[in-house]
Structure formats: C-alpha cells, structure tokens
Amino acid sequence: MTARLALIRRHPIKSVGGEGLEQVTLQAARRLPGDREWAVLTGSGQHHALASETDGQPDRWLPKSCFLRGVVSADLQAVSGGWQDGRLHLTHPRHGSLDLDPATDGDRLIDWLRPLWPADAPPPVRLVRGAAIWTDQKWPWISILSYDSLRALEGQVGQPLGTHRWRGNLWIDGWAPFAERDLIGRILQIGDVELRVTDQIGRCAATSADTETGQRDIDMVATLDRLYGHTDFGVFAEVVTGGTIRLQDQVTA
C-alpha cells in the first residue's frame, strides 16, 4: 500500500486556529512540534492547573475538559491562522482578527475569544503553555487521516466536509477508503520517518461544525455511527524513528 503525504497541519493553540506546513521534523516518542503547545484554561479547569504548576505554568498533562474546546462552542471551529513572523495571526469570519505574542498577550486573546464562548459555560481565564502539549491524548501520538476516507464520507453524506474540522496532523492521499482502520500495530514509513499506528480516533461533536461559518451543519457523531457502526475517523500513531517529512513524500505501510 503506497500513497503520498498531502497535508501537514499544526494547531499552535488548542481548539483555536490552525496552519499548514510544507515540512516538519519529528522526534521519536514525541508529538508534532508546536501542535497544541498553548491552550486556554476555563474557570473550572483553573484549579487543576494551579495544583500542578511550576513557574506559573502547569507542569503535567491536563484533561481536555480543562480548556476551551470546539465541542462546547462551534464558533471556535471557524477560527483560523497560525505563526507569521514570530507572532500568531488569528481570524474569524464574523469576529475579525487578532495578532499576538502568546507569551505576553494572553489577556488580549482571552478578551478576543470571550464573545465566541457561551455565556453559560465556565469562562476562559488564562492562556497556558503545555509542559506535555495539550493534545486530548496523554500519550505522545500524532493523528493521521485519509483524504480517500474523507471523500468517501463526503459522498455518502452529500456535502463537502473539508479537512479542518477534524484537526488532524497528517493527511494521506492514495489509500483505499478507510484502509487506515486496518493498520493498527503496523509501521508506516513517510520519507525516512517510521510511525507505529496505535489506535482509532473516536470523534466528538466538535466535528459537527463547518469551519467556514462556525455553525453546526451535521450531527457528525450520529452520522458516523449510522453509516459505519462506530464514531471513529482517522488513526493515532507514535513516532518510532524520527526525521523530516515533507509534502508529497511517499507513504508506505
């Protein structure tokens, strides 16, 4: 089974924006560098962070319930943007844009995000940097998704879904639809990098939001369950042998 690496995505702030990369250097047993490096704590997540802080930052992984997430606010899914000239540039289709240094402008980000967050949910309170990186999984895994599976799903639901709502890291083009489900335990090679496929990715309601509008346009969890009898889309993998991967690198499984 051979294919090509078609898209590399990184999300500097958990649930807020994202950017495409032409190449990235991976290290064994590490997440994709800079992905979910920052996250916005809610009021209810603050006490978890304060119980595990060193020099003002949490020093261990915290569960996703501590942070702003797209499952609570579909509007967050429409925030786009990433690093430019050493600063983060974020934009939203109805809410304008923001340029910030996350190390010093956390309060400005909180103010900008507040109108996109439900008033009855625990409020955003603080931007934190992750000692362990703020992915949903505690393990140092990278998410891998298939363009061919996406096209098959889009054909079955009768509407475009796009890549961004899934917030994946690596997108592969050239596999049979849903062939990735049979790769658990197998080694993928992308260029000189080797990754061991570890698990399916179970999906939540955040994927129900259109990233162009920030409005829910499908019940994705129910749709996946109705079509396939499960709510998975994509797989996780752990880097076994590090190196640099680039767009259009051959992928072998």
**Is the separation of the CB atoms in 221 and 208 below 8 Å?**
yes
Count other C-beta atoms under 10 Å from residue 87's C-beta. 12
- The residues, any chain, with a CB within 8 Å of residue 45's CB and separated by 6 or more, are 62, 65, 66, 67, 122
How many C-beta atoms surround the C-beta of residue 228 within 10 A?
14
Low-confidence ranges of the chain (pLDDT < 50): none
pLDDT of residue 135: 92
Tokens of 138: 């505690």
What domains sit in the chain, N to C, each tagged with a CATH number? Answer: 2-30+138-252 (2.40.33.20), 38-129 (no CATH)
Predicted pLDDT of residue 190? 98
Of the candidates 38, 48, 10, 46, the one whose C-alpha atom is nearest the C-alpha of residue 131 is 38
Q: Which pLDDT score, from 0 to 100, does residue 1 have? A: 58
